[in-house]
Amino acid sequence: METAHHVCTALHRLCSTSKAMVRCCSHHSPRDTVIPDWKEQEWDPEKPDAYAGIFHFHFWRFGEWVDVVIDDRLPTVNNQLIYCHSNSRNEFWCALVEKAYAKLAGCYQALDGGNTADALVDFTGGVSEPIDLTEGDFANDEGKRNQLFERVLKVHSRGGLISASIKAVTAADMEARLACGLVKGHAYAITDVRKVRLGHGLLAFFKSEKLDMIRLRNPWGEREWNGPWSDTSEEWQKVSKSEREKMGVTVQDDGEFWMTFEDLCRYFTDIIKCRLINTSYLSVHKTWEEARLHGAWTRHEDPWQNRSGGCINHKDTFFQNPQYIFDVKKPEDEVLICIQQRPKQSTRRDGKGENLAIGFDIYKVEENRQYRMHSLQHRAASSIYINSRSVFLRTDQPEGRYVIIPTTFEPGHTGQFLLRVFTDVPSNCRELCLDEPPRSCWSSLCGYPQQVTQVHVLGAAGLKDSSTGANSYVIIKCEGDKVRSAVQKGTSTPEYNVKGIFYRKKPGQPITVQVWNHRVLKDEFLGQVRLKADSDDLQALHTLHLQDRSSRQPSDLPGTIAVHVLSSASLTAV
């Protein structure tokens, strides 16, 4: 998806003020800044002999900061810099950064018509989240628009980079100027986000009337928005002089202008937010836990070794893809997931867009799963599939265990990728490599599993109640292994939705599902059921009466439990 005219929007955003570069770089260690040791690289007229005519720059590529070295020769015409340049004639850092970035990409031409989201990540090491304003109908849905503004405000206040653009559908649309002054196909840098106080004097403070405002900059440095809140519009009379000075409002065609967030959602089609994910415990802001894993889609004739199965449309090969497991350890947690394929220099040089179409699905699985999935389970979330270098998804998920399956859209395509998973608490994210329990020299002595059984406890009804309702949970037990659900508070009809998977060495022994009431001093037993679960037991949903723990003649207790059981002699059936 090419939403921008020029891949160097990130550079233009940083060039708008030197403070922006400082803010961007401050989120990394000195080794990881875009301009490392900039004071040492600065020209010092007192030490001209120290100047060697070379410069170092760092860009984030595929999980690490890459050092790029260039000389000081810059392309000019008539003694004027051709591409990116500063307003000051003796300031060259932005042109040098652009040259280093062009070297990383292959050449200057490779920077034209690139993907803004990729450039933002290269300059920050962050995670890009593209948002389709038209598809989300943010212009007409005030609630969604207010939520989006708060997210944009948070990203901006924490040093992230944000871009907005108007999609150019055809080649003729590219660089077409609209009647409102905006240009299609340009990646406008969002340089400020704030709630602007309306009114004058003390009355403004008492009324507390504020407007959601965005400041944007055209990378050309000219051609501005001419609608409401443009440089010379009468709307600015609603804002006090001190507020205008604080906002830095200027009346000149410098390419930078203000507009309401509502108008932005109405006229622009796309926003790209590049979050700088904070993983430092020393910060006052939210700290994320990051899991970073390298993987690959590889092709092999043996289906059990093939790792390029394509998307879910290809059901026969889908589960041959790489699989990664992670845990959500809070009752509910916001999870950020990004998959990035390894960049190909040749792709960007010839402009053919050879990125693979990639994406991923997330499945909620058994609480004790340790081996690869072989059949469909509940799909908790899924990303889009797009031929972009990276794909991002933000999702809220309840407590439990999940499997991520990153794929190419078509089977048989190969390539390397980087998976990044951000959660509030450590997720223990890791790759699932084995399809079933491994055989060892101890297997002949201790036995090897003969059968796999999946037990899915959906919920219960009619439990022994109290004045506040039962605080119940279930425990699934099988051959010394057990799975416990979260406590469902204050209800006699809880929904557990918990699954366990068991590789059984003694299929003749039943599986037990117990229901307990959580109490402060000692938990109370509410009943249990025993499941035979034969290997040919492909039963549908069963509702069973709870019984006591008597092994001879169990008697019924108040309540029923809904259970789904799937068993097979093939250990790779689930």
CA pseudo-torsion sign 337, 339, 340, 342: positive
Instruction: Give the whole-angstrom CA distance, residue 371 versus residue 358.
Output: 24
Instruction: Give the whole-angstrom CA distance, residue 188 versus residue 218.
Output: 5
345 token code pair? 């220099």
Instruction: Give the whole-angstrom CA distance, residue 284 versus residue 290.
Output: 17
Q: Of the candidates 411, 415, 426, which has an alpha carbon nearest to the alpha carbon of residue 344?
A: 415
Say if residues 105 and 347 touch (Cβ distance below 8 Å): no
Q: Helices (DSSP H) in 127-189: which residue ranges?
A: 142-157
Q: Is 186 marked active-site?
A: yes
The one-character DSSP state at 527 is: E
464 token code pair? 């022994």
Q: Is 25 marked active-site?
A: no
User: What backbone torsions phi and psi does residue 181 show, to the nearest 5 degrees?
Assistant: 100, -10
The one-character DSSP state at 286 is: -
Cα 502–chain centre separation? 32
65 token code pair? 């900061």
**CA 306, 307, 308, 311: dihedral to nearest 10 degrees?**
120
How many residues would you count in the chain? Answer: 574
Q: Of the candidates 33, 280, 277, 248, which has an alpha carbon nearest to the alpha carbon of residue 161?
A: 277
Select which of 5, 6, 15, 355 is catalytic.
Answer: 15
**390-408 and 323-341 beta bridge pairing:** antiparallel
Say if residues 519 and 385 touch (Cβ distance below 8 Å): no
Q: Is 218 marked active-site?
A: yes
Cα 388–chain centre separation? 14
Q: For residue 192, list its beta bridge partners.
A: 215
Instruction: Give the whole-angstrom CA distance, residue 389 versus residue 353.
Output: 10
Select which of 27, 84, 94, 218 is catalytic.
Answer: 218
CA angle 183/272/341 to nearest 5° reads: 120
The per-residue b/e assignment along 117-132, b for 16 or more CB within 10 angstroms, e otherwise, is: bbbbbbbbbbbbbbbe
Select which of 12, 58, 85, 186 is catalytic.
Answer: 186
Q: For residue 91, how many other CB atoms are within 10 A of its CB? A: 12
How far lies 67's CA from each of 97, 341, 435, in Å? 12, 20, 40
471 token code pair? 């605080």
Q: For residue 23, how many other CB atoms are within 10 A of its CB? A: 16
Instruction: Give the whole-angstrom CA distance, residue 58 versus residue 64.
Output: 10
Catalytic residues: 15, 186, 218
